[in-house]
Structure 1
């Protein structure tokens, strides 16, 4: 055997090589384990949202048979999970003809939105639902099933029936009062009051629907804040108000938008200063002299106010604050009976707050998922996946404009030795510091990315070769002077090597340009590190660096 022919020294050398390979495999495996854990956490969160939704949610296959339902589905229809699994969805619909019409609309439009249809429970009870359906497709675009979300609208139908009955009763009363000359004026006044109330409810519902449409189209919470303020000013014309949100540290509540007259009270305060946030329920104060007043409004004025917590999934997001304005209570053309008080608008304020809490929660979740998908969790820079998805778009833009695009490959010098000397925690501190520095040192259109390990990539659209080299040298020099603290020590003599290439000068594709920048980086490394090297050139910029283990001094 081959091993029997080796000397003792040769066997020892082979053993050392094998041990180094095992260590390298462990190092490469670590980030993948972290990514798998993050994916599992995201899936667990989404599964929790699905399972605990207040709406009925079911997933069916191409044959229309259930493959997954949430808890609300079993509660509403009276079936167990096992009984529903594999059951045709048609069995839950009361009217087959209406069911066929809905499927025809789904096939024609590709989706069904808010379709009203009757469904039946296991015991045969008929319940009206508002149904929305979207198709599920695989990565080839083929339909593999659909997702159905249904909401019980029994209360709405009962309310409409009640309104219809009241309208009929009103008509009867009006006809009766018309026969009585003495009661004519009273009947007319009552009718006017009811019409006014009905018009106000219609107006409020219309404004809430319009606001909801805009909020659904928003991409970020910041985009939604002024929209909320704009519709709040119309819904509560006799009041001023503000939208307050918890900051990222959740230790302060800050105003993000306002409407009406200037608010009396703090624009930033700790959550404990608001009773609505502390109690998790609306706090209406109509008599400041007799009721408990929030600390963020001291000293109190003479006006009444209303604080409503923004809550989603049991978590506080912020607070809506409304306060009456004595200078705005005179009747307007739209309000012949005078501006409504905060007490009269209590239910509207609660409904308004519930609408925006759900919208802001969804935006926050969408933003979180988007950030997780495109950002490196350690440095906060774009990740390699986002880089590869986006760079082709930048290439097309450069080609269309006839400009150039700079590509930098950056690598921390002696990073492995740094980890060996100070540990991986210090290495993470160094990577985060470099990520923060790059974000502060680039233009708005530039794309700093963590390419992998201690390697970083910087994409610079519409830049010349000379300016790209100048910026690379500025970054290299700036890294040398970073003040990085770790456990009371200052890490110094941290340096980077940089390779610079320009598209299309150094490559007719993204891959070729990246390779040219990587080769330039390699030249910077083998020539002593702490340098900037341009693709296709042998001239090195910068100076050599001292040993990385000389880079720690005690903090002053």
Structure 2
């Protein structure tokens, strides 16, 4: 009886020790859960600041209460240990401070924009709060590990004492011994389960850290891309830069950048990049792409719609995915960004969001470049005749004159004036006069070479610069122009107006002047001589 009672008492003490060991493992696991939830909230908050995606904000709102619940559960676990209770309260306080700092960054982004939030993160407050939380957790973990060591020693000592009693008590019923062993086995299984949960928590922490690092790298790449994109001078540079950035984000994928033609009936390839999983057409109507039809991103893979765009080639692999991002700004479709790859190479939601962000940036840049080109053309062209304006003439005459002087070549300047233009305006109206000037501009475009510079000098006066043309060639060309305009008829308001004539003055470098001012003055003087001698003629400068 005494041996049996001693054995039972020893078993009870051993079971109590094992429960304390189990309690210690649970405390350690709960510490890991607190940190994991803080990390998850931090990751979702950072993703929301990077992408402004409401889904990430929703995930953050779901993670924040779990942090507080885990911290409160940790305090409840160590309520019997004042020292550990104090440490648990410290962990909970620091976790809540970190949540409050994350919430302030999100609110700062919502009220002042992403740049303000980015500037706030550079202060290092978040890193300091997180480091403080990690230090508090480490202190509590160390203390709990020391308790675990002491409890294991006590448990081992009691186990040895029980085994000794069992060995000595040879008369102990075999059934009681079997019951004891079953209890030990059950307790060991519970301990192993706690260890497994702790390992899973560590794996989850590593996964969160990897995702955080990947998002940080994407953010760096996109930030660099935005800065470089703003410095692009033309569409070709922007397309080449976009291809390199998408290739960097998705190294095992590829695709094309398309530009919408001015007619809005075709999009054509403006650049390719990477190694696409499926081919895409070089030239296609917008109807061939679901993204251009709907004006929103269209994606096909195992988790999305299976409707493939008509411009994408046939499927070669079951795990292929495609992503079409329409490029639009100010209500106008400008083009398309198409990417394709295989599921084994990536394309998770974060990468897809990054490509969409690239599409948004590229759309704005394309709109700005088109506006810049339109303004440049407007600043150089006369809107009525579509010829170059006087400003362009003055800038380029000097350059062409220097070039011809260096190479020892001639350069000729023609000054043209429509005869009796005021009378034509008075008899037919200003609208008819504008129609006449526009037709004269068309004739000058048709009868000048690609290297010639035809300009509207002002009013009914026109100027033509003929680089590398001597006086003989220029005079012959002037006669051709005079004859062509003399046979010109203008149809306006169902009336045939005309004919009209022009007077032309011709001056040549170096015979009639060595500077732009002298050449223009010489040609203008010859023009007035032509008018004084009866108009409708070509006169060479006498200077």
| Mean Cα deviation higher: 367-376 or 189-198 | 189-198
Q: Does residue 1:407 correspond to 2:427, yes or no?
A: no
Q: Say which SS state the counterpart of residue 234 (structure 1) adopts.
A: helix
Counterpart selection for 2:327 from 284, 305, 310: 310
The alignment's TM-score, normalised by the length of structure 2, stands at 0.56
Counterpart selection for 2:296 from 270, 281, 286: 281
Q: What is the 5 A alignment of 1:294-373?
A: 294=309, 303-312=320-329, 314-326=330-342, 339-341=345-347, 343-373=349-379
State whether residues 289 and 309 of structure 2, in contact with CA within 8 Å, keep that contact through their aligned partners in structure 1. yes
Distance 1:493 1:288 in 2: 72
The residue aligned with 2:21 is none
Q: What is the 5 A alignment of 1:128-147?
A: none
Distance 2:127 2:385 in 1: 59
Q: Does residue 1:458 correspond to 2:473, yes or no?
A: no
The offset of 1:374, in angstroms, is 2.5
Report Cα offsets for 1:12-56 as digits up to 9, x if no partner: xxxxxxxxxxxxxxxxxxxxxxxxxxxxxxxxxxxxxxxxxxxxx
| Mean Cα deviation higher: 207-216 or 402-411 | 207-216
The offset of 1:384, in angstroms, is 1.5
The residue aligned with 2:526 is 520
Distance 1:168 1:438 in 2: 78
Distance 2:491 2:242 in 1: 42
Structure 2: stretches of 5+ with no match in the other structure: 1-106, 146-193
Higher strand share: 1
CA 416–265 in structure 1, closer or farther in 2 if over 3 Å, else same: same
Counterpart selection for 1:157 from 103, 108, 120: 120
Q: What is the 5 A alignment of 1:222-241?
A: 222-241=236-255
The residue aligned with 2:388 is 382
Report Cα offsets for 1:61-85 as digits up to 9, x if no partner: xxxxxxxxxxxxxxxxxxxxxxxxx
The offset of 1:292, in angstroms, is 5.1
Structure 1: stretches of 5+ with no match in the other structure: 1-126, 130-148, 330-337, 538-556
Q: Say which SS state the counterpart of residue 345 (structure 1) adopts.
A: helix
Q: Does residue 1:534 correspond to 2:540, yes or no?
A: yes
State whether residues 526 and 540 of structure 2, in contact with CA within 8 Å, keep that contact through their aligned partners in structure 1. yes
Higher helix share: 2
The residue aligned with 1:221 is 235
CA 197–174 in structure 1, closer or farther in 2 if over 3 Å, else same: farther
State whether residues 174 and 187 of structure 1, in contact with CA within 8 Å, keep that contact through their aligned partners in structure 2. no
State whether residues 229 and 259 of structure 1, in contact with CA within 8 Å, keep that contact through their aligned partners in structure 2. yes
Q: Say which SS state the counterpart of residue 350 (structure 1) adopts.
A: helix
Higher Rg of the two aligned structures: 2
State whether residues 505 and 541 of structure 2, in contact with CA within 8 Å, keep that contact through their aligned partners in structure 1. yes
RMSD: 4.6
The alignment's TM-score, normalised by the length of structure 1, stands at 0.55
Q: What is the 5 A alignment of 1:37-48?
A: none
State whether residues 240 and 271 of structure 2, in contact with CA within 8 Å, keep that contact through their aligned partners in structure 1. yes
| Mean Cα deviation higher: 287-296 or 343-352 | 287-296
CA 452–187 in structure 1, closer or farther in 2 if over 3 Å, else same: same
State whether residues 245 and 253 of structure 1, in contact with CA within 8 Å, keep that contact through their aligned partners in structure 2. yes
Distance 2:514 2:486 in 1: 34
State whether residues 288 and 304 of structure 1, in contact with CA within 8 Å, keep that contact through their aligned partners in structure 2. no
CA 496–269 in structure 1, closer or farther in 2 if over 3 Å, else same: farther
Q: Say which SS state the counterpart of residue 264 (structure 1) adopts.
A: coil
Equivalent residue pairs, number: 380
